[in-house]
Structure 1
């Protein structure tokens, strides 16, 4: 009788652990998005997206926030891990970007993470240069 009770308790504990494992890896833990492999939801110019955010940030957020977009614009400032497009789109790269020349028109694909009201710029992360 005592062995049967221990067996039932052990079975219940294993069942609870299996359910917790399934819940964690099935629902909570998701693989990171691969922005480079995703098709862009929108393609627009840097002045257009900045104007949309300055006009109505809530509407722009509903359209672009957390979505993969392509932004076309002139390089204003750049370093190895970020590029600023005129008039106010900040793009950060996971892998350092090469051969970016200030004043050159480029296409940047990335995930829109919103509008920074302090700096007045739209922010993109996980960016890559599209040719």
Structure 2
């Protein structure tokens, strides 16, 4: 093998390795473990919804990407999400089979945004920490 072919071969391997590591970081490296992470804020669904309705920019700076525990009444349950007080949509990692519509619950998750058109606050990586 000539020196030029070896350099091209090694370069391709390095590029492929960097691409694979980059892909892995983007797709899997950013997920946090909220079960062990400290809760930044503990609020009721009414209070946090009122804050976002009043001033989205200030609320985004305060809450976006933070671990938040929100207490409210479950108004809808399906396999992948729980909706609290018709305004807070929590995408769950795993649904607890005892979770029922009408229960008061505290859900911990990461705030990913507020949809001002629909009036909905969206959380991901959620789990129920208190289910009454």
TM-score by length of structure 1 reads 0.76
Which residue of the other structure, out of 10, 17, 22, is the alignment partner of 2:6?
10
Match of 1:29 in 2: 24
Distance of aligned partners of 1:23 and 1:37 in 2 relative to their CA distance in 1, 3 Å threshold: farther
Could you list the per-position Cα deviations for residues 30-83 of structure 1 after superposition, in whole angstroms to 9, with x for gaps in the alignment? 235133343322222111211111111112112222232211112223233322
Distance 1:38 1:80 in 2: 24
Match of 1:67 in 2: 66
Q: Number of residues paired by the alignment? A: 126
Runs of 4+ aligned structure 1 residues displaced above 4 Å come to none
Query: Please, which runs of 5 or more residues in structure 2 have no aligned partner?
Result: none
Query: Please, which runs of 5 or more residues in structure 1 have no aligned partner?
Result: none
SS in 2 for 1:70: strand
TM-score by length of structure 2 reads 0.76
- Deviation of 1:7 after TM superposition, in Å, equals 1.7
The Cα RMSD (Å) is: 2.4
Larger radius of gyration: 1
